[in-house]
Amino acid sequence: MSGTKTYDVAVVGAGVFGSWTALQLARRGRRVVLLEAYGPGHSRSSSGDESRIIRMGYGPDEIYTQWSQRSLILWKELFAATRNEELFQQTGVLWLAEPQNEMLRATREVLTCCGVNFAELDRTALIERYPQINYDGIANGIYEPESGVLLARRAVAATVAEAVRLGVQYRVADVIAPRECGKVSSIHTRSGEKILAEEFVFACGAWLGKLFPRVLGGRIFPTRQIVFYFGVPAGNEAFSPPALPTFLFKTDESYGMPNLESRGVKIGMDMHGEKVDPDTQSRIVTPQESERVCQYAGFRFPALKNAPIVETRVCQYENTSSGDFLIDRHPETDNVWFVGGGSGHGFKHGPAVAEYVAGRLLDNAKSDPRFSLANKETVQKRTVY
């Protein structure tokens, strides 16, 4: 294969953006090779771990609500076609915030505009429906009954498997970034292989800045993010769906999922951690991190006070300055594309991102300025949550 066959598109990175891009291009009849250094949804990636939220609420950012709606349709179609229906768990998603939270107000307006099914819950209704939560500082909530959780690493693997079934060539390979200007004809792996293609899509997550340090080194911010799974009390169903939905505390910048597949209640902190190198950062949580999140879990869920930590994860967000995705052409290389900037909220959007990328590559579709490289600054000013 190497050095003899020219592909229409080479996709580098088999996370959620890369795998769905390869699948979408294959569905449109393109010859695609998908290259990944470690494996689909691997433990060091931003697409790994057990679960990711898929929700429609995005405050005033209507495009992400629309893309979530479209993506959920496509995820469900993929899971049905591959007999993986369990990879979407319709837990419902509950937003919680303090009085007069602006994002909840904007979310309500956009969900109404986009025809999303939701319910508004005041404090009294919240306490009645979900008494296992401590609502200190919380005034109201928005509940999305049709949203829920994607079982992440398995969903990526299913996407790659379907892409391969449709003819995508999947390879485990460590790719070296091209250093040419103008049009690139090939890329090389560290083992010396040569991959020829007409177009090259780099969907490498937190590694984008390392592969393209001059162009992206100051515009991609990988941050350390910690996730904990807490064991639930014996014989207690209050932390399993439907008794407990997926939850987002906007007041606290935290999120979590109920006890899915008996793995425990997942709690993650959404505020950006320290900037890290995805190759060298420690994947072990610190005692200080454990103490802080244990205290938080016991505060918001009193029955989880002193609950055992049954699993932990250390991953990274791959942030842009604003939190908007980066989907654009390399400024100096005509046929090299960047697809990244998931910024902690990108997983759910894999299918819609892939449709957008395919439109740009194959149809010369109009670009959205918010995804452009030109709009990515070197100082973080997060606006998308």
Task: Tell me how far apart the alpha carbons of residues 34 and 173 are, in angstroms, rounded to a whole number.
Answer: 9
> Is 133 contained in some domain?
yes
Residues 242 and 270 reside in one and the same domain? yes
Task: Tell me how far apart the alpha carbons of residues 281 and 19 are, in angstroms, rounded to a whole number.
Answer: 25
- Specify whether the backbone of 329 is left (phi greater than 0), alpha (psi in -120 to 50) or beta: beta
Residues 335 and 271 reside in one and the same domain? no
> Is 34 contained in some domain?
yes
Q: What is the pLDDT of residue 297?
A: 98
Q: Which of 292, 319, 346 is at the close of a domain?
A: 319
End-to-end, the C-alpha distance of the chain in Å comes to 42
Helix residue spans in 196-303 (DSSP H): 208-211, 213-216, 287-300
Distance between alpha carbon 236 and the CA centroid of its chain, in Å?
30
Q: What is the pLDDT of residue 270?
A: 96
Task: Tell me how far apart the alpha carbons of residues 310 and 231 are, in angstroms, rounded to a whole number.
Answer: 6
Task: Tell me how far apart the alpha carbons of residues 1 and 280 are, in angstroms, rounded to a whole number.
Answer: 33
> Is 360 contained in some domain?
yes
Residues 39 and 163 reside in one and the same domain? yes
> Is 65 contained in some domain?
no
How wide is the angle at C-alpha 20 spanned by C-alphas 247 and 83, nearest 5°?
75
Q: Residue 32: what residue type?
A: V
Q: What is the mean pLDDT of each run of 10 residues along the chain (385 residues)?
A: 77 98 98 97 94 98 98 98 98 97 96 98 98 98 98 98 98 90 92 96 97 95 98 97 97 97 97 96 97 98 98 96 97 95 98 98 95 97 95
> Is 341 contained in some domain?
yes
Residues 234 and 315 reside in one and the same domain? yes
Q: At what angle do helices 350-362 and 62-81 cross, to 10 degrees?
A: 100
Residues 138 and 235 reside in one and the same domain? yes
* DSSP 3-state percent helix, strand, coil across the chain (nearest 5): 30, 25, 45
Tokens representing residue 311 in the block: 């699993």
Q: Which of 265, 288, 319 is at the close of a domain?
A: 319
How many structural domains compose the chain? 2
Residues 241 and 313 reside in one and the same domain? yes
> Is 61 contained in some domain?
no
- Backbone dihedral angles phi then psi of residue 163, each to the nearest 5 degrees: -60, -45
| Paired sense of beta strands 336-340 and 175-176, if any | unpaired
Residues 156 and 137 reside in one and the same domain? no
Task: Tell me how far apart the alpha carbons of residues 352 and 339 are, in angstroms, rounded to a whole number.
Answer: 12
Q: Which of 297, 319, 341 is at the close of a domain?
A: 319
* 136: CATH: 3.30.9.10
Which residue from 156, 151, 150 is spatially nearest to 20, judged by alpha carbons?
156
Let me know: does 251 contact 104? Beta carbons within 8 Å.
no
Residues 5 and 30 reside in one and the same domain? yes
> Is 351 contained in some domain?
yes
Residues 238 and 342 reside in one and the same domain? no
> Is 72 contained in some domain?
no
Residues 123 and 241 reside in one and the same domain? yes
Let me know: does 113 contact 61? Beta carbons within 8 Å.
no
Which residues are paired to 340 by β-bridges? Answer: 326
Let me know: does 71 contact 354? Beta carbons within 8 Å.
no
User: Which residues span the domain enclosing 162?
Assistant: 1-50+151-219+321-385
Pairs from 68-72 (Cβ < 8 Å, separation ≥ 24)? 68/348, 68/349, 68/352, 69/114, 69/116, 70/351, 70/352, 70/355, 71/348, 71/349, 71/350, 71/351, 71/352, 72/146, 72/147, 72/348
* 193: CATH: 3.50.50.60
Residues 157 and 297 reside in one and the same domain? no
Residues 257 and 138 reside in one and the same domain? yes
Q: What is the pLDDT of residue 341?
A: 97
